Amino acid sequence: MARIKDVDILELGEEGERSSPWSSTILVLRLVTGDGEVGYGEAPTTLMTRPVFEQMKEVSRVFKNREIGEIRKNYLEFYKHSFYLPVSVEATAALSAFEIASWDAVGKEHGAAIYDLLGGKVRDSVRAYANGWYDNCTSPQEFLAKAKEVEGKGFTAAKFDPFGPNYDAISDEGVSKARKIIETLKSRTKLDLLIECHGRFSPNSAMRVARGIEDLEPFFVEEPIHPDQFNGLKRLREVTDMRIALGERVLNKNLFLPYFTADLVDIIQPDITNVGGIIQAREAASLADSFGVEVAFHNAFGPIQTAATLHLDYNIPNFLIQESFEAFWPKWKKSLVKSGYKLENGHFILSGKPGLGIEINERILTDYKTNEMEPFNPDEPPWVVKGTFKRG
């Protein structure tokens, strides 16, 4: 195999992201080997754009001039040098981009799709759920109107956060308002409803939410408790049968183990662009499978992330459903990848071409190059969908 010769780190963005301020910028990595093969990767941002950009330079110092096909060896070499890697999202995000780009180049070198290098596919398409669709929604009627648009695009499932400005604590009135939104969508659409909590609640508040909505039988409830409240999650688990999903903030396959051994999670959501890349994400899925836990990968950033994630969706046996923001992206982000996968009638289909299988639009890499942090709004956390963190 060839050695990594050139490393290009590019930040792309555009002011005025309509729905997803946390991903108004994306970081794209381009690796070029001595044989001229090119591999692309992506790193997440989430109010960390410039720190992750700088950390990618540090990963480059380890990866450059190494054999691109020695993916695990190169990963472990950076692991050795990066003192805080297992718990530093800047480090794991930067490393993930290099790992993914390496797989892309290796797949092209062998003329094989990544999922074929991982043992082949177990499915021919991937069911998606819509996210990012409910910007500026606060009332049941506003949510319903946009949920109808989601159905019109062919989706059969949608995720949303109905909790408005409630953070840490929530009143009975807050639970009642959230319930009304969920109830309206359940009775007036055919969508499976996935409830996003964004890790915002204390254990007591999460239990109040559970008592208020569990009879509506959501498809799953995501991150109902602050991510550092492990024992609080145990308490919640004891009082509800709702399926619990989490994992976008878990940065290493081994860090999932306590959730499995304590039986605290039904669905894990590793993010392939911050857990360490394809190997770590796949091994996390394998561990989950041993405990009867399903996988719904987190996927909230850009199309390179989507393509990489779909290769694992095709490959793992315990796949459940795939997050998708694609239909609600700004035009520039939709145009970054010219081909490689399709989203039709609520399902993804990969091209099957070598590596990631994608074709990058070089014009977007030039026209949307920037060096800014994501926008900051003191009245609304960057992790919510725009215009929802207010009273309806």
Same domain membership, residue 307 and residue 339: yes
Q: Domain range spanning residue 333?
A: 116-360
Q: What is the chain's mean pLDDT, rounded?
A: 95
**Is residue 187 situated within a structural domain?**
yes
In the chain, which ranges are E strands?
4-13, 25-33, 38-43, 126-130, 157-160, 192-196, 220-222, 244-246, 267-268, 294-295, 322-324, 337-339, 341-344, 347-350, 359-360
Task: Give the residue among 24, 197, 4 at the shortest CA–CA distance from 104.
Answer: 4
Same domain membership, residue 75 and residue 209: no
User: What pLDDT is attached to residue 274?
Assistant: 96
Same domain membership, residue 223 and residue 133: yes
**Spatial distance between the Cα atoms of 202 and 267, rounded to a whole number of angstroms:** 20
Give per-residue pLDDT as tens, 159-198: 999 999 999 999 999 999 999 999 999 999 999 999 999 9
Same domain membership, residue 104 and residue 179: no
Token representation of residue 98: 């290099």
* Known catalytic membership, residue 298: yes
Same domain membership, residue 241 and residue 188: yes
Give per-residue pLDDT as tens, 43-61: 988 778 999 999 999 999 9
Phi/psi at 16 (5° precision) = 90, 30
Query: By percentage, how much of the chain surpasses pLDDT 90?
Result: 90
Same domain membership, residue 165 and residue 152: yes
Average pLDDT over residues 238-244: 97
Domain final residue pick, 48, 77, 111: 111
* Known catalytic membership, residue 198: yes
Per the CB < 8 A criterion, the answer to whether 170 and 339 are in contact is no
Give per-residue pLDDT as tens, 80-94: 999 999 999 999 999
Same domain membership, residue 216 and residue 351: yes
pLDDT of 296 higher than 60: yes
Give per-residue pLDDT as tens, 8-17: 999 999 876 5
Token representation of residue 269: 């959501």
User: What pLDDT is attached to residue 22?
Assistant: 66
Determine how many CB atoms are found less than 10 A away from the CB of residue 73: 10
Give per-residue pLDDT as tens, 151-161: 999 999 999 99
Same domain membership, residue 183 and residue 155: yes
Same domain membership, residue 137 and residue 15: no
Average pLDDT over residues 60-66: 97
Token representation of residue 331: 């035009």
Same domain membership, residue 102 and residue 47: yes
**Is residue 378 situated within a structural domain?**
no
Give per-residue pLDDT as tens, 251-288: 999 999 999 999 999 999 999 999 999 999 999 999 99
pLDDT tier, 357 (very low <50, low <70, confident <90, very high otherwise)? very high
Give per-residue pLDDT as tens, 207-218: 999 999 999 999
Question: What CATH number is attached to the domain comprising 47?
Answer: 3.30.390.10
User: Which one from 110, 198, 226, 347 is the annotated catalytic residue?
Assistant: 198
**Is residue 57 situated within a structural domain?**
yes
Question: What CATH number is attached to the domain comprising 304?
Answer: 3.20.20.120
Global confidence as pTM: 0.97
Same domain membership, residue 339 and residue 325: yes
Per the CB < 8 A criterion, the answer to whether 283 and 260 are in contact is no
User: What pLDDT is attached to residue 17?
Assistant: 59
User: What pLDDT is attached to residue 175?
Assistant: 98
Same domain membership, residue 236 and residue 176: yes
**Is residue 58 situated within a structural domain?**
yes
User: Which one from 81, 110, 226, 298 is the annotated catalytic residue?
Assistant: 298
**Is residue 371 situated within a structural domain?**
no
**Is residue 387 situated within a structural domain?**
no
pLDDT of 110 higher than 90: yes
Split into its structural domains, the chain has a count of 2
